[in-house]
Chain A
Amino acid sequence: MIEEEFDAIVIGAGMSGNAAAYTMASQGLKVLQLERGEYPGSKNVQGAIMYANMLEKIIPDFRDDAPLERHLVEQRLWVMDDTSHTGIHHRSDHFNEAKPNRYTIIRAQFDKWFSRKVREAGATVLCETTVTELVRDGRDRVIGVRTDRTGGIIGADVVVLAEGVCGLLGTRAGLRSMPKPETVALAVKEMHFLPEEVIEQRFGLNGDEGCVIEAVGTISRGMAGLGFLYTNKESISLGVGCLVSDFAAAMESPYALLDAFKNHPSIRPLIAGSEVKEYAAHLIPEGGYKAIPQLFGDGWVLVGDAAQLNNAVHREGSNLAMTSGRIAAEAIVQLKRRSHPMTKRNLSLYKIMLDNSFVVKDLRKYKDMPALLHTNSCNFFTTYPQLLSKAAQNFLRVDGTPKIDKEKATTAAFVKARSRWGLVSDAVRLACAWR
């Protein structure tokens, strides 16, 4: 029995799902959004940095009432060994603009706000409701969903799967496969609470300014991974992430990595005296362009993490999620306006539009990066960081050694560690993957 018919059903109330539901509802479509968590945001985990431009395209005046923590004025990229960090920092007053470009956010609060916007736009949002099955007709078209609540089928012309990285439903329905361990990273993070003024002092921030530290090096113990520290208003989000396959092969525990990161002499003073009130873990799709599954079919589309849309090199995920959700919704709205059925052929419009956006263009640019970092992770994440630290110390320490000897020693250390051929090969491969 069909309980009710909708133009579109969105599964999941994360960034991509909310973007899709909002866009369709505000264009007058009858939208139902289903979320398994107690409230939107209760199950969602991100670092989190939110990129304004992609949200502006959905809700232009979001700054009026969205719960934003700090706008970012400073980025620090650190290469770390066990005792040191060598960094490139960029800080600019240009980031103190009227409409800043990047913000730290806390997803539990942000998603509640986004979901309120979705409801205000006219969508029906149902929480604590898990979709158990995609319902298909005799010709294999998706025509609705079944949930874990008693009752019949909810029908829809199109189902937007915004169910997140694991994609249990899409996988069960055979629309995509389970993500492979080498294409997903496991990130763990903690929320360290500190008074606002302490955070401002420690990071040299005024008012709502924020700072980001991202670190690579021996903290990931040879695995392909990253440590991060984001300043919120009254807390610091701090975490590390590495590929799941690396964790498995190295028999490393995520919490041990996080503990080591927290106790690193460069990080420890930044979080001293804080109170940990929250910890979380999440999988991040890192397979890049080559891991993107089929994105559309008869009566369905995949968006966001469920479509593996994540730029691991630039640590961008939520903006790809929002954008894919919006573009899928716009494609659906266009088809609906022209009274075209939601067939696989017609829904390919979504793929065409997405291919023309930064989402797929960026992922295509870095299509070889995941493979490179995966196969050569030990060199990039341990050997080079250690060499760099030694080189920096050698350069800075004044001990009567002639400078020419110091430079020779540094060069020799690089050659000894990687050989001339190895150095050239690493450089060329990195350049190729970046290009």
Chain B
Amino acid sequence: MHIVICIKQVPDSAQIRVHPVTNTIMRQGVPTIINPYDLFALEEALRLRDAYGGEVTVLSMGPPMAENALRKALSYGADRAVLLTDRYFAGSDTLATSFALSQAIAKVGETFGTPDIVFTGKQTIDGDTAQVGPGIAKRLGLLQLTYVAKIASIDLAAREINVERRCEGGMQLLKSRLPCLVTMLEGTNEIRRGSLQEALCAARSQVVKWSAADAGIEDLTRCGLRGSPTVVKRVFAPTPRAEKAERIETAEKTPRDLADELVAALFTRQPELAHELAFNNDA
């Protein structure tokens, strides 16, 4: 089995401060880490490899310094690391990132064997969009399993995977076909400490570095700033509202009464809403 996992080197957001005057993020001197959600995905990938055999390839797109994150991933026991790095990728939003990564995954497939599972973290802690994983799946035509808490089992012969997916108000047990893309949630595992052998191996192995051309990306207009329609117009720290929330006591009231009370409260505050609704009902 070949597993590809996408990781991102991110600033440790616990140590980031916002500049009091300019409202910009002060990245200077902030240590970098592997995106924590990616570590859950990496551990899950390593567990699957240990249980079912195969290889784990770690892939990252980023500046040359992202090599450190990949070295770390190797020391946890990953078999191979590929860094996609090129100035053409600078300024990528989620659209451009998922494009570049999907192309690189295709190239990884050609070079090292077609992946059975592609992992990503649920989201990164610097962007928080959770769009790159699904973006990759869509572009590669992979079935996608998002917000997965745990891989329950894999049947390689039947090419099937069973996962636990967290959803609002519960847990879904899903079965899917392989190959697929899984975005992992936090919580069910913790990244391991690589053995002495794995650490020695990681210290000696080279991170494979690919430029856009190496990864077979021809359309550079879809990469980096040029391929990114997202524009950050302004960054600001939200100020908490001064007014207090109104409370409706729930004691010994039926849901119906509570709903009536809530609607009444809304209409008192926003009379125009009441008129609009009344008008619509009449029509």
Which one of B29, B196, B204 lies within 8 Å of A149 (CB-CB)? B196
Asked whether A129 lies within 8 Å of B29 as measured between CB atoms, the reply is no
Asked whether B196 lies within 8 Å of A147 as measured between CB atoms, the reply is yes
Bound Cα distance A120, B89 (Å): 29
Bound Cα distance A173, B29 (Å): 38
Asked whether B196 lies within 8 Å of A150 as measured between CB atoms, the reply is yes
Q: With an 8 A cutoff between CB atoms, is B195 at the interface? A: yes
* Set of chain B residues within 8 Å of A150, measured between Cβ atoms: 193, 195-196
Task: Determine the main DSSP class of B at the interface with A.
Answer: helix
Q: With an 8 A cutoff between CB atoms, is B259 at the interface? A: no
CB under 8 Å from chain A, chain B span 199-249? 199-200, 203-204
* Set of chain A residues within 8 Å of B193, measured between Cβ atoms: 149-150
Q: With an 8 A cutoff between CB atoms, is B120 at the interface? A: no
Asked whether B200 lies within 8 Å of A4 as measured between CB atoms, the reply is yes
Asked whether B204 lies within 8 Å of A152 as measured between CB atoms, the reply is no
Closest to A125 in B: B203
Bound Cα distance A147, B194 (Å): 12
Which one of B75, B195, B196, B203 lies within 8 Å of A154 (CB-CB)? B196
Q: With an 8 A cutoff between CB atoms, is B197 at the interface? A: yes
Asked whether A151 lies within 8 Å of B196 as measured between CB atoms, the reply is yes
Asked whether A3 lies within 8 Å of B200 as measured between CB atoms, the reply is yes
Asked whether A126 lies within 8 Å of B199 as measured between CB atoms, the reply is yes
Asked whether B195 lies within 8 Å of A151 as measured between CB atoms, the reply is yes
Which one of A4, A124, A149, A277 lies within 8 Å of B194 (CB-CB)? A149
Asked whether B75 lies within 8 Å of A128 as measured between CB atoms, the reply is yes
Min C-beta distance of B179 to chain A, whole Å: 32
CB under 8 Å from chain B, chain A span 2-28? 3-4
Please report the total number of B residues contacting A with Cβ < 8 Å.
11
Task: Determine the main DSSP class of A at the interface with B.
Answer: strand
Asked whether B197 lies within 8 Å of A3 as measured between CB atoms, the reply is yes
Bound Cα distance A3, B197 (Å): 7
Asked whether B195 lies within 8 Å of A124 as measured between CB atoms, the reply is no
* Set of chain B residues within 8 Å of A4, measured between Cβ atoms: 200
Asked whether A124 lies within 8 Å of B196 as measured between CB atoms, the reply is no
* Set of chain B residues within 8 Å of A126, measured between Cβ atoms: 199-200, 203
Q: Looking at B29, B75, B195, B203, which has the most chain A CB atoms within 10 Å of its CB?
A: B203
* Set of chain B residues within 8 Å of A3, measured between Cβ atoms: 196-197, 200
Bound Cα distance A242, B149 (Å): 53
Bound Cα distance A339, B200 (Å): 27
Min C-beta distance of B23 to chain A, whole Å: 18
| B-contact bits for A124-139, CB 8 A (1 contact / 0 none) | 1110110000000000
Bound Cα distance A150, B194 (Å): 8
Please report the total number of A residues contacting B with Cβ < 8 Å.
14
| A-contact bits for B62-99, CB 8 A (1 contact / 0 none) | 00000000000001000000000000000000000000
Bound Cα distance A4, B196 (Å): 10
Asked whether A277 lies within 8 Å of B29 as measured between CB atoms, the reply is yes
Asked whether B203 lies within 8 Å of A151 as measured between CB atoms, the reply is no
Closest to B31 in A: A38
* Set of chain A residues within 8 Å of B75, measured between Cβ atoms: 128
* Set of chain B residues within 8 Å of A124, measured between Cβ atoms: 200, 203-204
Q: Looking at B29, B193, B197, B199, which has the most chain A CB atoms within 10 Å of its CB?
A: B199
Bound Cα distance A3, B200 (Å): 10
Asked whether B204 lies within 8 Å of A151 as measured between CB atoms, the reply is no
* Set of chain A residues within 8 Å of B194, measured between Cβ atoms: 149
* Set of chain A residues within 8 Å of B196, measured between Cβ atoms: 3, 129, 147, 149-152, 154
Min C-beta distance of B191 to chain A, whole Å: 12
Closest to A278 in B: B29
Bound Cα distance A124, B201 (Å): 10
* Set of chain A residues within 8 Å of B204, measured between Cβ atoms: 124
Asked whether B197 lies within 8 Å of A151 as measured between CB atoms, the reply is yes
| A-contact bits for B178-204, CB 8 A (1 contact / 0 none) | 000000000000000111110110011
| B-contact bits for A409-422, CB 8 A (1 contact / 0 none) | 00000000000000
Closest to A154 in B: B196
Bound Cα distance A103, B196 (Å): 37
Bound Cα distance A129, B193 (Å): 10
Bound Cα distance A128, B203 (Å): 11
* Set of chain A residues within 8 Å of B29, measured between Cβ atoms: 277
Given known A-B contacts A128-B75, A277-B29, A149 and B199 have beta carbons under 8 A apart:
yes
Bound Cα distance A311, B196 (Å): 37
Bound Cα distance A170, B200 (Å): 24
Min C-beta distance of B106 to chain A, whole Å: 33
Closest to A39 in B: B68
| A-contact bits for B12-46, CB 8 A (1 contact / 0 none) | 00000000000000000100000000000000000
Bound Cα distance A125, B203 (Å): 6
Closest to B204 in A: A124
Asked whether A129 lies within 8 Å of B197 as measured between CB atoms, the reply is no
Given known A-B contacts A128-B75, A277-B29, A149 and B195 have beta carbons under 8 A apart:
yes
| B-contact bits for A277-315, CB 8 A (1 contact / 0 none) | 100000000000000000000000000000000000000
Bound Cα distance A124, B196 (Å): 13
CB under 8 Å from chain B, chain A span 323-354? none
Min C-beta distance of B241 to chain A, whole Å: 32
Closest to B196 in A: A151
Bound Cα distance A3, B195 (Å): 11
Closest to A146 in B: B196
Closest to A151 in B: B196
Bound Cα distance A277, B26 (Å): 13
* Set of chain B residues within 8 Å of A128, measured between Cβ atoms: 75, 199
Min C-beta distance of A21 to chain B, whole Å: 13
Bound Cα distance A3, B199 (Å): 12
Min C-beta distance of B217 to chain A, whole Å: 30
CB under 8 Å from chain B, chain A span 201-232? none
Given contacts A126-B199, A129-B196, A147-B196, 14 further A-B contacts (CB under 8 A): A3-B196, A3-B197, A4-B200, A124-B200, A124-B203, A125-B203, A126-B200, A126-B203, A128-B75, A128-B199, A149-B194, A150-B193, A150-B196, A151-B197
The contact sample of 16 A-B pairs, CB cut-off 8 A, is A3-B200, A4-B200, A124-B203, A124-B204, A125-B203, A126-B199, A126-B200, A129-B196, A147-B196, A149-B193, A149-B196, A150-B193, A150-B195, A152-B196, A154-B196, A277-B29
Q: Which residues of B contact A (CB under 8 A)?
A: 29, 75, 193-197, 199-200, 203-204
The 8 A-B residue pairs with the shortest CB-CB distance, nearest first, are A151-B196, A149-B196, A150-B195, A151-B195, A124-B203, A126-B203, A126-B199, A151-B197
